[in-house]
Structure 1
Amino acid sequence: MNEIAMSIASSNAAGLKSDGRREGLWMLAVTLPAVLLITLLVLLPMGWLSWLSLFDENGAFTLQNYARIFSSGAYVPIIINTFIISFAVTLLVSLLGYPIAYLMAQSSPKVTSLLLTAVLLPYWTPVLVRTYGWIAILQRNGPLNKVLVALGLVDGPVQFLYQTSGAIIGMTQIMLPYLIVPVYIALRSVDKDYLKAAAGLGASPTVAFWRIYFPLSLPGFAAGALLVFILSLGFYVVPALMGGGRVTMIAMRIERSVMVYPNWGAASALAIVLLVVTVLLLVISVRLARLGGNFR
Structure 2
Amino acid sequence: MTATSLRRQGQTPPEPEVQHPGPGRVARVRAAVLPDRWGWLMAPLLVFLLLVFVAPLATILARSFTDPGVGLQNYRAFFDSSVYADVLLNTFRISGLVTLITLLLGFPYAYLMTLATPFWRGAMLVAVLIPFWTSLLVRTFAWVLMLNNTGVVNEFLLSIGVIDEPLTLIRNQTGVVIGMVQVMLPYAVLPLYATMRGVDRRLVQAAEGLGARPIFAFWRVYAPLTAPGVVAAALLVFISSIGFYVTPALLGGPKDVMIGELIVQQLSAVLRWGFASALAVILLVVTALLLLLVSRVVNIGKFLGGDR
TM-score between the two structures when normalised by the length of structure 1: 0.87
Closer/same/farther in 2, CA of residues 283 and 72 from structure 1, 3 Å limit: same
Choose which of 268, 281, 303 in structure 2 pairs with 1:272: 281
Deviates more, 1:28-37 or 1:277-286: 28-37
Closer/same/farther in 2, CA of residues 135 and 88 from structure 1, 3 Å limit: same
Counterpart of 1:190 in structure 2 is: 199
- Give the Cα–Cα distance (whole angstroms) in 2 for the partners of residues 141 and 40 of structure 1: 48
Post-superposition Cα deviations, 1:52-78, rounded to whole Å, max 9, x if no partner, equal: 000242xx3211111111111221111
1:52 aligns with 2:63: yes
1:31 aligns with 2:49: no
Closer/same/farther in 2, CA of residues 21 and 62 from structure 1, 3 Å limit: closer
Q: Is the 8 A contact 2:75 2:278 kept in 1?
A: yes
Partner-residue secondary structure (3-state), 1:74: helix
Q: How much has 1:166 moved relative to structure 2?
A: 0.6
Closer/same/farther in 2, CA of residues 112 and 51 from structure 1, 3 Å limit: same
- Give the Cα–Cα distance (whole angstroms) in 2 for the partners of residues 264 and 209 of structure 1: 52
Counterpart of 1:5 in structure 2 is: none
- Give the Cα–Cα distance (whole angstroms) in 1 for the partners of residues 153 and 300 of structure 2: 45
Aligned residue type for 1:278: T
Q: How much has 1:287 moved relative to structure 2?
A: 2.8
Counterpart of 1:158 in structure 2 is: 167
Partner-residue secondary structure (3-state), 2:212: coil
Q: How much has 1:22 moved relative to structure 2?
A: 11
Counterpart of 1:43 in structure 2 is: 54
Counterpart of 1:259 in structure 2 is: 268
In percent, how many aligned pairs have the same letter?
41
1:86 aligns with 2:116: no
Post-superposition Cα deviations, 1:17-44, rounded to whole Å, max 9, x if no partner, equal: 59x7699525633433332222111111
Partner-residue secondary structure (3-state), 1:190: coil
Closer/same/farther in 2, CA of residues 24 and 211 from structure 1, 3 Å limit: farther
Choose which of 73, 76, 90 in structure 1 pairs with 2:85: 76
- Give the Cα–Cα distance (whole angstroms) in 2 for the partners of residues 147 and 258 of structure 1: 41
Q: Counterparts of 1:227-238 in structure 2 under 5 Å?
A: 227-238=236-247
- Give the Cα–Cα distance (whole angstroms) in 1 for the partners of residues 140 and 212 of structure 2: 45
Q: Counterparts of 1:1-296 in structure 2 under 5 Å?
A: 25=36, 28-57=39-68, 60-290=69-299
Q: Is the 8 A contact 1:190 1:217 kept in 2?
A: yes
Gaps of 5+ in 2: 1-21, 303-308
- Give the Cα–Cα distance (whole angstroms) in 2 for the partners of residues 23 and 109 of structure 1: 50
Aligned residue type for 1:28: G
Post-superposition Cα deviations, 1:241-278, rounded to whole Å, max 9, x if no partner, equal: 11145521101111111111111110000000001111
Aligned residue type for 1:258: L
Aligned residue type for 1:46: L
TM-score between the two structures when normalised by the length of structure 2: 0.84
Q: How much has 1:145 moved relative to structure 2?
A: 0.7
- Give the Cα–Cα distance (whole angstroms) in 1 for the partners of residues 301 and 45 of structure 2: 33
Aligned residue type for 2:230: F
Deviates more, 1:36-45 or 1:21-30: 21-30
- Give the Cα–Cα distance (whole angstroms) in 2 for the partners of residues 289 and 30 of structure 1: 36
Q: How much has 1:143 moved relative to structure 2?
A: 1.3
Counterpart of 1:4 in structure 2 is: none
Closer/same/farther in 2, CA of residues 21 and 52 from structure 1, 3 Å limit: closer
Counterpart of 2:3 in structure 1 is: none
Name the one with the larger helix percent. 1
- Give the Cα–Cα distance (whole angstroms) in 2 for the partners of residues 41 and 284 of structure 1: 28
- Give the Cα–Cα distance (whole angstroms) in 2 for the partners of residues 201 and 117 of structure 1: 38
Please, what is the CA RMSD of the aligned residues? 2.4
Q: Is the 8 A contact 2:173 2:253 kept in 1?
A: no
- Give the Cα–Cα distance (whole angstroms) in 1 for the partners of residues 39 and 59 of structure 2: 26
